[in-house]
Structure 1
Amino acid sequence: MADLLSNQVLWTAILASVLAQLLKLFIYYLVEHRWEWERLAETGGMPSSHSATVSALATGVGLTSGLQSPLFAISIVLAIIVMYDATGIRRAAGLHAERLNELITEFRKLVEQGPQPEPLKELLGHTYLEVGVGAALGIAFALISFALL
């Protein structure tokens, strides 16, 4: 258990994710001028916490194991897959949900009785900018973390 608690690479990645989620809350407040606490637990938005997490993980592995290590290669491939998925499949699913919600709104106007479907969650994926900022945040956080500790 002590080894797990002292694993700097693990905790750097986890804390980078927490930092990104907190930044989502504050960025939303700066843009919309209201607090939306759900931002702390949702996917999508600026910055990408998934990208921050895997970038911090890969940076930490690179700093501790070396850039030539198989562990670094694994963590880089994992990071690429996660970030590609965030901008590809998850983003497309969010856009589909947005269009379906528009259809549901039109359907509700036509049929006032009967089942009223719940809106689908639209904020699923990320833009390239959100992923890029998340990745930069994760790398910077890991570099600072390892420089300080």
Structure 2
Amino acid sequence: MNFFKEISSNDIFWTSVFACFLAQVLKIFTGEKKVDIARIFTSGGMPSSHSSFVTCMATMIGIRHGFNSTYFAMAAVLSAIVMYDASGVRQAVGKQATMLNQIIEDLQKGLPIKNEKLKELIGHTPKQVFFGAILGIIIGVVM
């Protein structure tokens, strides 16, 4: 099983996973409540673990293979797509969830409907994406 041996020794992969995990852990301390353990399992919030994950990967690839390499170019493009999605598309979905929840509350005043709210914290603000990216770059450089 060469695959398992190779993946288990891939420091870029595991350091990127660590950067993602660390960003999730930091979310415990950055929500509206002072400390909220449940935030480690949610999407959205400060810092963006998506951004941390992909920028750590791109940084380490750039350091190892050169910032003018094809490998870095692919990693940078992938990172840009992931961060755009995290800040743009997913943020818009979060705003839609907020609006739908308001509609449900308004309808509940006159009609009996299901009392389930949609998840509102889905995407990231540009600030959250930025700080997630900075965290990933720092971890990629340090490791």
Tell me the residue number matched to 2:61: 61
Unaligned runs of 5+ residues in structure 1 are none
1:32-69 C-alpha deviation (Å, 9 max, x unpaired) = 23x43321111110000000000001001111111121
- Residues of 2 paired with 1:72 and 1:41: CA distance? 30
Give the alignment's Cα RMSD to 1 decimal: 1.2
Q: Which runs of 4+ in 1 moved over 3 A?
A: none
Relative to the length of structure 2, the TM-score reads 0.92
Amino acid corresponding to residue 124 of structure 1 in structure 2: I
Residue 117 (structure 1) shift: 4.3
1:130 match: 128
Q: Which residue of 2 aligns with 1:42?
A: 42
Partner of 2:137: 139
Q: Partners in 2 of 1:125 and 1:63 — Cα distance?
A: 29
Any conservation in 1 of the 2:48–2:131 contact (CA below 8 Å)?
yes
Residue identity in the other structure for 2:132 = G
TM-score between the two structures when normalised by the length of structure 1: 0.89
Q: Which region of structure 1 is more displaced relative to structure 2, 102-111 or 49-58?
A: 102-111
User: Is 2:116 aligned against 1:118?
Assistant: yes
Q: Does 1:74 align with 2:78?
A: no
